[in-house]
Amino acid sequence: MHFVPPEYAKPKPKAILFGAIHGDEPIGVYCLNKLMEELLSMPPGRETWIIPALNIDGLAGGSKNNANNVDLNRSFASANFSTDHKPGYFPGNTAEGEPEAHALSKLIDETGATRLIALHSPFRTVNWDGAGEPLALAMAEHNGYGASSDIGYPTPGSFGSKYGVDRGCEVITLEIPLLEEEEAWRQNRGALRFALDLPV
């Protein structure tokens, strides 16, 4: 869904938020749907696109990978893209060869969005790449998760590798622990609203 700020708002870099790049991580979908409900009555402070679930097939089947058994978060055309992965992390035969990754990359290119926020599970941190550190620290103050530039393992071909490391965008990976949906939203509402320049 596309949201446009009020006409009087000072232009700011555009934002894209998305969830369920891994289909077995549905908490982010719930939180983004709740955020969209609020944005219908109060538009964000910057032009924003929200994709609650990127990996529709995986979400429907409860599987991490998409219908072609590709881990979409290893399939981006980053400098460190590699087809050499352990089982379960197959990135596809070519970078962005899957329709989901291709569509997201096309949207970013066409809109010029540079504030890019992915919702994941099951860790508890606000991870950043590229220029995302100030935003990550601020979001972490709102949800109490803490912030980190290191998720703890290599992520070749990841969304953060391409758009944070390679392109220097503000990339946030909001890792939400396994909670009841309403509690996940309660904990992260302020952080997500802050990222879109809304009162928290």
List the domain boundaries for the chain: 2-195
Residues 6+ apart with CB under 8 A from 165: 78, 79, 80, 129, 130
> Rounded to an integer, what distance in angstroms lies between the CA atom of residue 145 and that of residue 136?
10
DSSP category for residue 96 = T
pLDDT digits (tens, 9 = 90+) for 94-111: 999 999 999 999 999 999
> What is the end-to-end Cα distance of the chain in Å, rounded?
21
Taking the whole predicted model, whether its pTM rises above 0.95 is answered as yes
pLDDT digits (tens, 9 = 90+) for 161-190: 999 999 999 999 999 999 999 999 999 999
Cβ neighbours of 113 (radius 10 Å): 21
Return mean pLDDT, the chain. 97
Please, which pLDDT band fits residue 8 given cuts at 50, 70 and 90?
A: confident
pLDDT digits (tens, 9 = 90+) for 37-60: 999 999 999 999 999 999 999 999
At 164 the pLDDT is 98
What architecture does CATH give domain 2-195?
3-Layer(aba) Sandwich (3.40)
